[in-house]
Each structure stands twice: as structure tokens, then as C-alpha cells.
Amino acid sequence: MKIIKKIGDLKIVDKERPIALIPTMGNLHAGHLSLVKQSKNLKLTSLVTIFVNPLQFGPDEDFETYPRTIAQDEENLEKENCDFLFLPDKTELLKGIKNLKAPFSNFLCGKSRPGHFDGVITIVNRFLELLNPEFCFFGQKDFQQQLIIHDHLKKNNFSTKLIVGQTIRDSNGLALSSRNNYLSEREKKNASLIYTYLKEIVDQLMQELAKDSLNISTNVLITCEKYKNKFEEEGFKIDYLEILNAKNLKKLKKGDTEILVAVAAYYKGVRLIDNLICDLSSS
């Protein structure tokens, strides 16, 4: 694996095979590495970026303490046969950068983290402009993020195709996240209740929608309230628990077929997010 630190050196990235851009903030786990694996399976030139992006953190968030484990990340990427690792210099990367506004920011994480997605899209756009990759890889775990990237690519006529990797979980079902490192083993086990409840919500929703006995928005409201209470009883502080149209993050309407069940909750002060998609078109 070649490590690149200067923008000018990106020209060494060979263009013989299509490029897969895989942006990350490092502290790589099996979720990140699954994206690298996927790109390798597709015989692409994998290019991982590690950049703890200051633009996407709010003033009271964990930018300073965010785990930075470059040596270990390099080792893990080598094992996956990653082709390139780009470790940009903050000053060089941010110099003259176009600050962008993200769409879909009035919902979910965008609502509780003002400016977060503006910061994400500003940096991702910089990488896209620098590399003009054939593909970019993002995880479903950050559902709203991949939706915003998808919209950005389309609206700006990038030829880059987005590939969304499924959420990788630990054996209890907790979605892997660098922030899980803030929790003890026992706390992680308890936090896996997020996945258990998400699955229950999807099951209930499928059953209720199949019966079609109640108005859809009433169903959604009742289910969300019930599960918010269940979470709170187990020591979670809910930021949001929402059931929305997965295509546009709008309120669910009769006839919608792709449904997003998304949650953000604090457990022991750590903000965890997860989601499941319920595809009714196949049922």
C-alpha cells in the first residue's frame, strides 16, 4: 500500500483500474474494512482516506478526543491489500475549500447536529474533485450521509457511482462504530438493544402495514412512542427514533415501499446511531 500525504502526490494513483474512493475518519474497524474488501472484490483500485474532519464536528462534540490510531489502521489496510492510503494535511486540504450546504439536513442527525453534513459534503466534494473516482463507497450505517452523497453526485453530474455497504455488527448486533470504543464490554452488550429494538420495530411495522388496519401515520407515531419509552427505561437517552420514507426522509405515506427506521441514542453519554430498511416492494 502506498501512503500519500500531499495533494500533488495523488497523481501517482494509477488509473489503469477504476478508482474506489473510501473516505473515513480512521480508527478502522471491520465496518470500514468491509468497504475496502468490497472494492477489492470488484477489482478496483482502493483508495482510503483518513481525515478526522473538523468541519463535521460541533463545538461541544468529540473532535479532540476522537480516536486516532494511524499505525494500527495502516496495518489493517495492508492486510486488506488496500492500494492507497491518503492522509491529507489539514491546512493543505482546507485551503481555499468551497464550503457547501448539504441537502436533507433538517431531518435526523442533520437536525441535532447543525452543520454536520455541510462539513461532510464539503470534504467529500474536495476528495471527489481531487480524484474524480469511478466509485465511492459509504456505509448504510450512516444512512443520511449516503443519501446526501447520492444527491450531491446526481445534482453535480459526477460520473462517480456510489456503492453502499451493509452495516457490519458485532456478535450481539451492535453496529460497529469508532465511538463504541468509549464503552466497556458490558456497556456494548447492553447497547446492542438498539439492534434488537430496531428489528422488533421493523417486524411490527410489516405486520401492521400488511393488516392495513390503522392509519399509517398513527401506526408510526404509536410505535415510535412505545419504543422511545422502552429505550429510556433501559437507560438510553433518545435523540431521535423515526420511521420515514427512505428515499426522501419525508413522513411515511400509504404506498411508500422503502421504509427507514432510524435511531440516534445516547448510551452512557455516547451517541450511537443505527438504522434498518424495510423494503415492502419485495413482500
Return the SS3 of 231: helix
Is the sign of the CA dihedral 65, 55, 76, 35 positive or negative?
A: positive
CB of 55 to ligand AMP, least distance (A): 13
Burial of 154: CB neighbours in 10 Å, binned 0-12, 13-18, 19+? exposed
Note whether 34 binds ligand AMP by CB under 6 A.
Answer: yes
What element of type H or E holds 191? helix 185-191
> Which member of 4, 21, 32, 80 binds ligand AMP (CB under 6 A)?
32
CB 135 within 8 A of CB 160: yes
Of 74-82, 109-117, 167-175, 235-243, which part binds ligand AMP (CB under 6 A)?
167-175
Number of residues near ligand AMP (by CB under 6 A): 17
* Backbone φ, ψ for residue 192 (5° rounding): -70, -5
> Which member of 88, 110, 115, 165 binds ligand AMP (CB under 6 A)?
165
Which of positions 233-262 make contact with ligand AMP (CB under 6 A)? none
Cα–Cα dist 246/194, whole Å: 19
Note whether 142 binds ligand AMP by CB under 6 A.
Answer: yes
Instruction: Please count the other Cβ atoms lying within 10 Å of the Cβ belonging to residue 30.
Output: 12
**Residue 198 vs residues 52, 218, 242, 271: alpha-carbon distances, Å:** 29, 18, 11, 16
Note whether 49 binds ligand AMP by CB under 6 A.
Answer: no
Q: Which is nearer to ligand AMP, 190 or 204 (CB)?
A: 190
29 an active-site residue? no
> Which member of 4, 85, 176, 244 binds ligand AMP (CB under 6 A)?
176
Which of positions 60-119 make contact with ligand AMP (CB under 6 A)? none
Question: Exposure pattern of 31-58 as b/e (b: 16+ CB <10 Å)?
Answer: bbbbbbbbbbeeebbbbbbbbbbebbbe
Of 126-134, 175-183, 229-237, 257-265, which part binds ligand AMP (CB under 6 A)?
175-183
Note whether 138 binds ligand AMP by CB under 6 A.
Answer: yes
Note whether 25 binds ligand AMP by CB under 6 A.
Answer: yes
Catalytic residue of the set 32, 116, 150, 152: 32
CA angle 131, 136, 141 (to 5 degrees): 140
CB of 156 to ligand AMP, least distance (A): 19
**Residue 96 vs residues 91, 125, 269: alpha-carbon distances, Å:** 10, 13, 36
Note whether 167 binds ligand AMP by CB under 6 A.
Answer: yes
> Which member of 21, 36, 128, 175 binds ligand AMP (CB under 6 A)?
175
Note whether 168 binds ligand AMP by CB under 6 A.
Answer: yes
Of 7-15, 71-79, 135-143, 259-267, which part binds ligand AMP (CB under 6 A)?
135-143
CB 39 within 8 A of CB 46: yes
* Backbone φ, ψ for residue 174 (5° rounding): -65, 130
Q: Which is nearer to ligand AMP, 90 or 251 (CB)?
A: 90
The contact set with ligand AMP (CB under 6 A) reads 24-25, 31-32, 34-35, 138-139, 141-142, 165, 167-168, 175-178
**Residues with catalytic roles:** 32
